[in-house]
Structures are given as C-alpha cells and as structure tokens.
C-alpha cells in the first residue's frame, strides 16, 4: 500500500493559503485561483449582467427607435436651418459682412442670388425656401416664386449676342468641346452609345462632367455655372450636356469672364481659341449686366430692407429663430426683438397652459383626496366596488368622455336644461360652460382624476389608523390630528398625483381641442397646428422643446422642494 | 378592594357590553373597578375582548350598553381627545414625519403650552426613559426598544393620571422585553399613575401587575393579584392559561369541607381541594402545578394518596429538571424539580410513585 493521502494533495494554492498569501503580500485580495478577487467577482457577475441586459433589450430597442431617436430628430429641427445656406450658397457667402441698414446689398450679391436662383428654380427648391422664409417675413413666399420664374430670362440678351455672332454657341457640343476633358468626352460618347442601344428603360446616369485642364482658371464664372448646369442636367433629367444648350446665365457668365479677362482665349488652342477670341471681341462691345435692376424689374420688394434682413438673419446653418418666435420674439439683423403686441401668442399660451394645468391639479387634489381617504378607510369589499367606479373612466374612450362633456356643458345641453327647468337660470341667460377655460378645466379634471386618486389611495393605504388614534389620545381634536399627523404622511401621495396630473395636463391635446374653443386651448394645440396645418415644423419643435424643458425644470424644482424619493406610486 | 366597594374607584366598568355586528357580544357584562395608582393587566387570548375594553376606555370604541366611569364621572360621551388618557400602542405609533422632540411636543402643543415649559417637560420625560440624547432623531432612526421608550415618554409627557398600554412590548425580543417590563413597572409606581396594560403574554402579566384580569370569551374569568392567580386559579381556563399546569379528569367521590376525593377516569383515587365543585358525582378537572408534584416518598405526607408513574422523558434545563411522565393514562404530565445537589435525576423507563399536598391539587370545573 502506498500513501493513500497522496492523491488529496492540492497542487495549486488552496483558498485558505491564497487568502493568507494575499494578506501577507498586502496587495489586492486574491480569489482561490490566485486571480484578483475584484476581477473574479466581475466575471462571476458578468453572466447576470448580460442576462439582465438581454431581458430589457427588446424594450430598450423599441424605445430607442420609436421614441428617443424620433424625438431627438424632432427637437433638432428646432434649431436646424440649413435650407438657406444649401439653397443660396453663393448669396450667403456674398452677404458676409452685410448690414441691412445700409440699404439693399451690392450688385455682387444680386449676381450671386441670380445664380443661386437659377439653380434652385431648376431644382424647384426656391418655393420651399420661400415658404421657410415666409414664416419669418410674410410675402417672401410669393417673392421667391416670382423670382424663380424671372431669373430664367436673365442674361438672354447676352445669349442672343453670342449666338447672333456665331450660331455654334447655340450647340451644346460647342460648349463641351470648349470646356470638357478629353476623357470625359470619350466616356460620354460611350454612355450615349449604350443609351442608344438600350432604348427605353435606360436609367444609367451620364458620367460626371469633368473640365479640361486650365479651363477653370481661364473662365472661372463660366465653368462654375456650367458645372451646376451639367450637374442639374445629369441628376434631374439623366442627360448629358452634349446635346443641350446651356442656361442664359452661362452666357452671361462667359461675357463677364471675357470682359474681366480679355486674354482668356490664350489658354485655349485651335478652333476653340478662335471661337473664344471672337466671343471676346463681341463681349468687349457689350455693356455689363445690372443684376440689381433685373431684380427690381421682377419685384421692387427685392430692394427692400425686409427681404435682405431676413435672408441675412437666417443665413447660418443653425438658428435661434424658432425659439425666438416661441418666445414672441423675432430674429432681426439687429438681434432679437419683441414682435408687435398683437402678434404675441405663445407667452400667453404657455402661461395659460401652466395656470390651467395648475388649476386642474388643484381641483384634482380637492376632489380626489376625500375619495382616496374613503377608499383607504372603508372595508376592502366596499372599497373595491368604489375603486371600480374610479377606474371606470379609464375603460372608456377619451374621445367619448370628452364628447360627453360637450353634450353636458353646451348651452342647449343637459346641465343648462336642468338649471333652466329648476328656474335657477333664465332661458335667455343660459350659462356658457364650454369652448372656454371652464370647459377645459372641468373635462380635464374629470379625465385626470384617477391619476390623482390612485397614488393617493396607495399612500393612504399604508398609513396605519393607529397614528390618528395616537394623536387623539394625546389630546388632538379630529382636525388637528388630521392636519398635523395624517396629512403630512399623505403628502408623498399628493406629490406623486400632482406630478402625474400636472405633466399629463400640460401636454394634453384632444380635450382642449374639443371643449376649449379659442380661450381654453393649450400650447399643445398650437404645436399640433404647426405640425399639421402651417407645416412650420421648426417652430413646432421649438415649442415642444420649451414644453419639455419646462416640465424638466418643474420636475427638478419639485425634487428640490419635496424630494423625488418622497413620491410613492404604490405601497 | 375596599375603595371599590364604597364607590371611589378611579376607573370603573359597570355592566359594559359591546357588539360590533348586533349579533354577537364581544364583551359580555364587564364589571371592573380600579383604585388610583393600580397597575392592572388585561390578559387573555386573542379575540377575548381585552383590546376592545381598552379601546372603549380610550374612547375609540363606544360601549353598546353599560357605563364607563373615570374618577367617578361617566365618560361614554366624551371624545377621546378630551379624556386626558395617555396611550401606548403596539406599533408605537410615533409620528414618522416628526423628530422625537416634536413627537413629545405634540400633546403639549395641542394643550397650548408655552415653548419653555414644553421644552423642560420634554427633557424631563426623555430623561425619565433614558433617551435624553435622542431628541433630534426621527423615529425611523431608532431601534424598536428606543421607539418604545419614546412612545412611553410621549404618553407620559402630558402627565395623564391614567395610561393605557396595548401590547406595547409585543414586537421586541425577549431580553429587551424583560428590561422594559421592569422599567415600565418602576416608572408607573414612581409616578403613581394608574395603568391598564393589555397583553397576551402571561409572564409579562405576572411580573408587572398589581392585579391581573384574565379575559376569555368576553368575560373576566378571574381578577386577582398574580400570586393568587397562579396558585389559586378559580377555574380550569385560568389554571390552563396561567403558567404550566397538569390536568387530570375524573368524578368527585366525596366532599368533606375543604377536602375532597376524586376518582380519575383511570380508576385511581386522589385527594384534592374542591374549588368549584359542589356535589358528589360531578365531573371535574384536577389541576396540579408541575413544581408541586413530589416523587421522593420520604417527603410525602403520611397517608397521602399516591399514583404510579412512568418516566417518559428527562430534560435538563440548567436551573431545573423537567420530567415528562405517564400518569393515569395522561402522557403529558410534567413535573419540575430544582437542580439541587441531593436531587434524584430520573431516567426514561423509571417507575416511580408521585404525590402532592391535597391543597395543591385543585378540583375545578370540567
């Protein structure tokens, strides 16, 4: 027999020795296998953490994609303003340093505007920009629409002049030979051949236009416009510029290039150089184009201060304009100014929303507290029956409940009929209880009451009756016992109910819309209006952001004053 | 009690009945009177009506019939807050949103007492329960025992003459309970207040009270000082409920003055003291306390009846030995003997003879 205990010997450190070693070393605590205890614990907990994460993952993903991201995008719209700089890039650049008080901007700005408008009109973007700027200054929408039609003709005279001199200018091919890179011409020809072969249903875009070397330096304005022309043609029509006569503005640009730099033809060779030299001669005989006058002809408002002030104020990519509008302010070149008194609506609406929500919360407390007290102190059987009555409104459609109030409260409605029948109100003097603030408060108090009663009830349920007895045995009257002992303990319930009711009320939409008339509507109704009717989503987003911020601030205040850990929604 | 008879009782229940549903009486014909300064305990199983009595006294329940008098005046129609009775609740009922000092200030404030007077009274009351350093704490920051001390101080701070306590020590552990039992009794005696104390713990009742009222079935079964209650129970409920008790059932054979002979169902004959048996042939339950049973034949009285017993179990409990016997067909007959040097230690299987003094063996109702 060999030593039977030999196989029991442990090669590595035992848990005990590991702990002793760790203590001796005065280093981190080690687990039995010699790894640091912290690491060992973390890996042991990892499985649990992963499982917990997997359990919440479906909801998290759902919330992420249906709630957080859309809301984030929506809120982003409240400051986003890239439409101006994207539609009018040249104008915005030219306006840099412009002061609207010194009258209409220079001809250079109008020149840039002309070019931007030509491109925008081709892409049909100018109407969108017009309606965007119309939110800020009325009339801009039609101004832009008109200009979109008018800018087409700008430079027509120059086109005619060049074409009269040499009909080749009318041909798209002439321009391509003049400006395009050899490689591009080959690629374009190949593309055209493929299109010919395929016939209908050919949807391959032509190759992207490439300028020949040195052309862009020689004719900067022309190439800039021609590039836009080629790009619009390519993306909008799927055509190659080979067969198309360029826009008038390209001819005008060519004139301007040749007038500014008569030596430009020197950069070219052969037939093109001759053609260009001929054009330069014609250009020398032409008068420079007055862009300002052209716009004045389209509509003299283009020379007005309003238009340029607005464009300048909203030229940046991000704007505080929507928020300014939400606060009844206006973004002007001179900074943020209050709007005219008769146009101020949002301040009043926000204030009204807050005050009415407060009123609704207070009436919910007043009506809900005794009910909750009764529920909490009745025998369970009776309390359950009453609880069903409290919950009953929850099971009825919101729209039905609100419409029912309309039936009850209107001038020919049930309540007025009863009052008239009782002789309390004369038939000619029926009370106006709907389409005003009274109607909104009544209907919303009714709808939100369960949200007050339920948290109150669950808190009151946990207050033992012995507190009231103790207070009375100590000499307190019923009222003192209630007020000094019971009420303070039910405050967490009031807090929870108030937060719920107030936050729900502040964003309520359907009920004020139906029973609120004009005096009883909330800010949310205005937001809905901007979302679905005026389509001013930026302003709607700004109003929504302010509402959200307001709720968060109130929540923070509430946390500071009452303490959020004092809020109890359940036992 | 002498002062009870001549109408100077401080607290008196007179023919009090109470029903909650109009069909059954929770309290049936309660008559009780207490002199000033007495510590009276209402003891009984749950549902026996003791707490209802307390609540009627406090004013939280109204008597269906009968009259409750405090210091000679009927209080049936006085609301609780005007009765001036201090009360300590089972769950302490300290107001959680107030500090200890505010809790104590509450009864003084509602009495319109000035601030300086209030403060000195609060300090005195807290010192009385050795909680002087805890005035600024909230109830949730105190242990159960500390909360109970505060509850006691709060019930005493407005110097009521009568204090009611509703199972105040029920939620505490054994050691703390014992400490507080002594503290409450000492305090009550030192202050000379009258205390009505409700409990279902008989040890508590015996150690604390001047008199104990044993409740069962809506009636007081026996109202007596602790020693009488233990040594001379008047009926078999009290005998069973208070302390450990051995019961043997049989029929009365013969009654001669304060001595009777009972023939047990097993056929054995024993001596007993007739307590509430009156005639021969009546069925009876004979009650003997475990520590009054003797098995050393030398110590037994001459001519006393003895019974054969077999030892079933011997339990060593330190200060005493607890031995379970089979006696007259009863397997749960327990005897307790002191752990003395000369004591015989029995072993399971031993056959012994047991006996007792006839006056320790009480023949009660069946």
> For residue range B195-217, what is the model confidence (pLDDT) as tens digits?
999 998 888 899 999 999 999 98
pLDDT tens sequence across A146-201: 888 888 888 888 888 888 888 888 888 888 888 888 888 888 888 888 888 887 77
Residues A298 and A161 reside in one and the same domain: no
Asked if residue A188 belongs to a domain, the reply is yes
> Is residue A122 predicted with pLDDT exceeding 50?
yes
Q: Which chain A residues are within 8 Å of B86, Cβ to Cβ?
A: 473-474
Which residue of B lies nearest to A490 if distances are taken between CA atoms? B97
A408-418 tens-digit pLDDT: 988 888 899 99
Q: Which position has the higher pLDDT, A18 or B314?
A: B314
Tell me: do A379 and A502 sit in the same domain: yes
Q: Are strands B320-327 and B269-274 parallel, antiparallel or unpaired?
A: unpaired
Pairing of strands B269-274, B361-365: parallel
Longest CA–CA span in chain A (Å) reads 124
Residue A98 contacts residue A312 (beta carbons within 8 Å): yes
Closest Cβ–Cβ partner in B60, B90, B97 for A489 = B97
Sheet of strand B73-74: strand arrangement:
B27-34, B11-18, B65-70, B73-74
With CA atoms as reference, the chain B residue closest to A566 would be B97
Q: Which residue of B has its CA nearest to A473?
A: B81
pLDDT score of A23: 59
> What's the rounded mean pLDDT across residues A346-369?
93
Q: Tens digits of per-residue pLDDT, B216-239?
A: 988 899 999 999 988 888 888 998
Q: Are residues A198 and A163 in the same domain?
A: yes
Domain count, chain A: 3
- Within an 8 Å CB–CB cutoff, is residue A423 touching chain B? no
Q: Mean pLDDT of all residues in chain B? A: 88
In angstroms, the CA B11 to CA B57 distance is 9
Q: What is the CA radius of gyration of chain B?
A: 24
What does the alpha-carbon distance between residue A123 and residue A235 come to, in Å, rounded to a whole number?
A: 10
| Closest to A360 in 3D by CA, of A440, A464, A479 | A440
Note whether residue A228 is domain-resident: yes
From the candidates A379, A470, A478, A484, which should be mutated to test the interface with B, based on the most B CB atoms within 10 A?
A: A470
> Which two three-digit tokens encode residue A198?
């395929």
Alpha carbon distance, N-terminus to C-terminus of chain B: 29
A149/B contact by beta carbon, under 8 A: no
Q: Which residues of B touch A476 (CB under 8 A)?
A: 81, 106-107, 110
The closest alpha carbon to A502, from A348, A327, A390, A355, belongs to A355
- Are the Cβ atoms of B89 and A471 closer than 8 angstroms? no
Among B80, B96, B111, the residue with its CB nearest the CB of A489 is B96
> Which residue's structure tokens are 């939409």?
A509
Please return the burial class of A318, using the count of CB atoms within 10 Å of its CB with bins 0-12, 13-18 and 19+.
exposed
- Nearest partner of A330 among A315, A316, A320, judged by Cα: A320
- The rounded distance, in Å, linking the Cα atoms of A312 and A97 is 9
Q: What is the ipTM of this complex?
A: 0.82
Q: Give the C-alpha separation, B150 to B88, whole Å.
A: 10
Residue A23 distance to chain B (closest CA, Å): 36
Q: Is A473 within 8 Å of B85 when comparing Cβ atoms?
A: yes
Nearest one of B221, B225, B361 to B288, comparing CA atoms: B361
pLDDT range class, residue A568, cuts 50, 70, 90 = low
The pTM of the full predicted model, rounded to 2 decimals, is 0.75
Report the gap between the CA of B111 and the closest CA in chain A (Å). Answer: 7
Q: Is residue A365 part of a domain?
A: yes
Mean pLDDT of A386-391: 88
Q: Domain of residue A172: give its range.
A: 155-284
Query: Do residues B254 and B280 touch, judged by C-beta distance below 8 A?
Result: yes
Q: What is the mean pLDDT of residues A62-67?
A: 92
Residue A465's pLDDT band (cuts 50, 70, 90): confident
Residue B15 forms contact with A (CB below 8 Å):
no
User: Is residue A2 predicted with pLDDT exceeding 50?
Assistant: no
B-chain residues within 8 Å CB-CB of A568?
none
Summarize chain B as % helix, strand, coil (round to 5): 30, 35, 40
pLDDT of residue B68: 92
Alpha-carbon gap: A450 to the closest alpha carbon of chain B (Å): 27
Query: How confident is the prediction for chain A on average, in pLDDT?
Result: 85
Residues A356 and A472 in one domain: yes
CATH of B2-236, one of 3.40.50.300, 3.30.70.1150, 3.30.420.10, 3.30.365.10: 3.40.50.300
Residue A379 contacts B where some CB pair is shorter than 8 Å: no
Query: Average pLDDT, stretch A140-144?
Result: 89
- Token pair recorded at residue A203: 């949807």
| Residue A324 lies inside a defined structural domain of this protein | no
* pLDDT class of A7 with cuts at 50, 70, 90: very low
For the segment(s) B244-365, the CATH number from 3.30.70.380, 2.160.20.10, 2.40.50.100, 2.60.40.10 is 2.40.50.100
What local confidence, expressed as pLDDT, does residue B164 receive?
94
A15 occurs within a structural domain? no
Task: Check A473 against B87: CB less than 8 A apart.
Answer: yes
Contact A95, A109 (CB under 8 A): yes
Output the pLDDT for position B7: 52
Q: Is A470 on the interface with B (CB under 8 A)?
A: yes
The most confident of A18-32, B64-78, B294-308, by mean pLDDT: B64-78
Helix, strand and coil in chain A, % to nearest 5: 75, 0, 25
Q: Using the beta-carbon criterion (under 8 Å), do A470 and B95 form an inter-chain contact?
A: yes
Q: Are A296 and A225 members of one domain?
A: no
At A6 the pLDDT is 45
Do A176 and A124 fall within a single domain? no
For helices B100-109 and B144-156, the axis angle rounded to 10 degrees is 20
Which residues lie closer than 8 Å to A57 by C-beta, 6 or more apart? none
Q: CA-CA distance, A145 to A133, in Å (whole number)? A: 12
**Residue A437, in any domain of the structure:** yes
Give the torsion through C-alpha atoms of B236, B239, B240, B244, to 10 deg.
-150
pLDDT band at A557 (very low <50, low <70, confident <90, very high): confident
Contact between residue B252 and residue B239 where contact means Cβ atoms under 8 Å apart: no
In percent, the amount of chain B with pLDDT more than 70 equals 98
Interface test with B, best of A470, A472, A474, A495 (most B CBs within 10 A): A474
Domain ranges of chain B: 2-236, 244-365
């Amino acid at each position: 027999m060999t030593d039977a205990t030999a196989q029991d010997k442990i090669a590595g450190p035992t848990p005990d020795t590991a702990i002793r070693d760790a203590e001796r070393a005065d280093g981190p605590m080690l687990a039995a296998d010699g790894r640091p205890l912290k690491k060992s614990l973390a890996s042991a907990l990892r499985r649990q953490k992963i499982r917990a994460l997997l359990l919440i993952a479906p909801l998290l993903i759902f919330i992420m994609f249906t709630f957080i991201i859309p809301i984030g995008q929506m809120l982003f719209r409240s400051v986003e303003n890239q439409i101006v700089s994207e539609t009018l890039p040249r104008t915005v650049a030219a306006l840099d340093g412009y002061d609207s008080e010194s009258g209409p901007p220079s001809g250079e700005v109008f020149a840039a505007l002309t070019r931007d408008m030509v491109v925008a009109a081709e892409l049909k973007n100018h109407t969108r920009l017009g309606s965007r700027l119309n939110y800020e200054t009325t009339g801009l929408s039609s101004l832009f629409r008109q200009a979109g039609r008018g800018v087409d003709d700008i430079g027509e005279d120059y086109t005619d002049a060049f074409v009269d001199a040499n009909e080749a200018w009318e041909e798209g091919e002439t321009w391509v030979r003049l400006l395009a890179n050899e490689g591009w011409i080959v690629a374009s020809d190949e593309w055209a051949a493929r299109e010919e072969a395929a016939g209908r249903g050919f949807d391959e875009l032509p190759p992207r236009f490439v300028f020949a070397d040195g052309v862009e330096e020689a004719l900067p304005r022309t190439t800039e416009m021609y590039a836009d022309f080629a790009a619009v043609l390519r993306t909008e029509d799927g055509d190659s510029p080979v067969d198309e006569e360029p826009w008038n503005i390209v001819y005008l640009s060519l004139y301007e290039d040749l007038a500014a730099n008569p030596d430009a033809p020197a950069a070219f060779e052969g037939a093109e150089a001759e053609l260009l030299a001929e054009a330069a001669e014609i250009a020398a005989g032409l008068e420079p184009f007055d862009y300002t006058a052209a716009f004045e002809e389209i509509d003299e408002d283009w020379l007005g201060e309003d238009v340029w002030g607005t464009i300048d104020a909203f030229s940046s990519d991000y704007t505080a304009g929507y928020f300014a509008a939400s606060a009844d302010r206006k973004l002007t070149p001179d900074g943020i100014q209050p709007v005219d008194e008769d146009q101020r609506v949002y301040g009043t609406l926000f204030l009204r929303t807050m005050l009415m929500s407060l009123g609704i919360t207070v009436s919910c407390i007043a009506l809900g507290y005794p009910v909750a007290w009764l529920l909490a102190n009745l025998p369970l059987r009776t309390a359950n029956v009453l609880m069903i009555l409290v919950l009953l409104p929850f099971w009825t459609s919101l729209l039905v409940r609100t419409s029912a109030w309309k039936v009850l409260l209107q001038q020919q409605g049930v309540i007025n009929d009863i009052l008239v029948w009782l002789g309390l109100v004369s038939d000619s003097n029926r009370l106006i209880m709907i389409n005003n603030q009274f109607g909104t408060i009544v209907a919303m108090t009714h709808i939100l009451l369960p949200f007050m009663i339920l948290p109150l009830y669950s808190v009151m349920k946990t207050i033992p009756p012995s507190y009231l007895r103790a207070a009375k045995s100590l000499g307190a009257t019923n009222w003192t016992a209630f007020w000094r002992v019971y009420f303070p303990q039910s405050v967490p319930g009031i807090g929870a109910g108030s937060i719920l009711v107030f936050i729900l009320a502040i964003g309520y939409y359907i009920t004020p819309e139906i029973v609120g008339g004009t005096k009883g509507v909330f800010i949310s109704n205005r937001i809905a209006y901007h979302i679905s009717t005026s389509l001013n989503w930026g302003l709607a987003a700004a109003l929504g952001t302010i509402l959200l911020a307001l709720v968060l601030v109130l929540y923070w205040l509430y946390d500071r004053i009452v303490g959020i850990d004092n809020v109890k929604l359940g036992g | 009690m002498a002062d009870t008879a001549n109408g100077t009782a401080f607290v008196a229940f007179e023919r009090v009945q109470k029903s909650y549903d109009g069909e059954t009486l929770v309290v049936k014909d309660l008559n009780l009177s207490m002199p000033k300064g007495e510590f009276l305990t209402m003891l009984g199983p749950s549902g026996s009506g003791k707490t209802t009595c307390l609540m009627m006294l406090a004013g939280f329940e109204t008597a269906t019939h009968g009259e409750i008098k405090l210091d000679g005046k009927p209080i049936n129609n006085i609301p609780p807050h005007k009765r001036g009775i201090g009360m300590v609740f089972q769950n302490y009922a300290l107001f959680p949103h107030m500090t200890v000092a505010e809790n104590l200030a509450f009864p003084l404030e509602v009495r319109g007492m000035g601030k300086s007077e209030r403060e000195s009274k609060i300090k005195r009351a807290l010192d009385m329960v050795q909680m002087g350093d805890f005035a600024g704490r909230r109830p949730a920051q105190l242990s159960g025992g500390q909360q109970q001390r505060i509850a006691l101080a709060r019930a005493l701070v407005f110097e009521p003459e009568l204090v009611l306590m509703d199972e105040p020590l029920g939620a505490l552990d054994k050691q703390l309970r014992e400490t507080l039992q002594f503290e409450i009794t000492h305090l009550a005696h030192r202050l000379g207040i009258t205390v009505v104390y409700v409990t279902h713990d008989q040890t508590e009742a015996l150690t604390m009270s001047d008199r104990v009222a044993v409740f069962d079935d809506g009636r007081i079964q026996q109202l007596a000082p602790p020693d009488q209650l233990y040594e001379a129970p008047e009926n078999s409920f009290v005998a069973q409920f208070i302390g450990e008790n051995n019961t043997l059932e049989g029929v009365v054979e013969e009654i001669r003055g304060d001595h009777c002979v009972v023939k047990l169902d097993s056929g054995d004959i024993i001596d007993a003291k007739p307590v509430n048996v009156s005639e021969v042939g009546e069925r009876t339950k004979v009650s003997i306390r475990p520590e009054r049973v003797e098995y050393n034949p030398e110590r037994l009285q001459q001519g006393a009846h003895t019974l054969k017993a077999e030892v079933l179990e011997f339990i060593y409990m330190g200060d005493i030995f607890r031995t379970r016997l089979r006696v007259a067909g009863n397997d749960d007959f327990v005897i307790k003997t002191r752990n003395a040097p000369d004591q015989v230690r029995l072993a399971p299987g031993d056959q012994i003879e047991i006996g007792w003094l006839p006056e320790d063996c009480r023949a009660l109702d069946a």
